[in-house]
Amino acid sequence: MSTIDRGRRQLIGFGAAAVAGIAIAPGVRLFEIAAAKAPGDPVSGKVRWGMLVDVNRCASDCSECVRACNRENRLSGATRETDSQWIRKIDIKDASSGRTCSLPMMCQHCAKPPCVDVCPTGASFKRADGIVLVDRHICIGCRYCMLACPYKARSFVHEALRDQSPEVPRGKGTVESCTLCVHRVDRGRQPACVEACAASGHEAIVFGNLNDPQSEIARRIASYPTTQVRADLRLDPGVRYQNL
């Protein structure tokens, strides 16, 4: 490829990026990045992180979100009954009408999380910004939270781990689940599954601040009917589903 050609390509690339930036900037991204906390700042209760999954956009044969989660958090990706799965794709079929759909299921980051209620040591906790986490230092591995979670969102580490990510500490004998990629969110980035879903072209997952009426997630929840899984339990999950 000649030098001129490369220059032309770069120019086209920059142009496309600029157009995309102009298109996206007024929407969520700039605001959400601004809502991320500065390093060292305490987590703020003014923010409530959440996700909206558009089930119509989620393809049954796509599991990019699962793969991205496994990559980001260094999960093995194996699906034996003892393997950790922080996010999974569930295919559902209406028993009477036969309608089918597919959706990602993970920790729903409830406002009133049963896992936090039942944890004897307080290892399960909810951050001020709504992210539900497990403190791996005080989890004794009793697994009561796994029994209490209505979404089967938690996994127990059944064997020794290798090749962990320094940003995502895990440990044999403790319970773990989706952290909403808290290490990325705190830096103003999106969770890995959201990025991967967008990269795959489906753009089924929107991540953002539920408390900010201007955010895309809040605007969409305000405009369209959305569903909370097991809404009957009144846990106020941070993950919502559209077109379910």
**List of residues contacting other proteins (CB under 8 A):** 66, 79, 81-85, 88-96, 105, 114, 116-123, 138-144, 146-152, 154-160, 172-175, 229-230, 233
Write out the two tokens for 193: 């599954």
Which residue lies nearer to other proteins by CB, 6 or 158?
Answer: 158
Minimum CB separation of residue 143 from other proteins in Å reads 4
Which residue lies nearer to other proteins by CB, 126 or 187?
Answer: 126
Minimum CB separation of residue 100 from other proteins in Å reads 9
Q: Phi first, then psi: what are they for 30, rounded to 5°?
A: -60, -45
> β-strands 239-242, 49-54: how paired?
parallel
Which residue lies nearer to other proteins by CB, 36 or 123?
Answer: 123
Separation CA 151–CA 90 (nearest Å)? 11
Q: Are the CB atoms for 198 and 210 separated by under 8 Å? A: no
Minimum CB separation of residue 18 from other proteins in Å reads 41
Candidates 203, 217, 233; CA nearest to 52 is 217
Minimum CB separation of residue 156 from other proteins in Å reads 6
Which residue lies nearer to other proteins by CB, 59 or 146?
Answer: 146
Minimum CB separation of residue 47 from other proteins in Å reads 24
Q: Are the CB atoms for 181 and 192 separated by under 8 Å? A: yes
Separation CA 212–CA 218 (nearest Å)? 7
**Distance from chain centroid for Cα 14:** 30
Strand pairing partners for 132? Answer: 126
Which residue lies nearer to other proteins by CB, 12 or 147?
Answer: 147
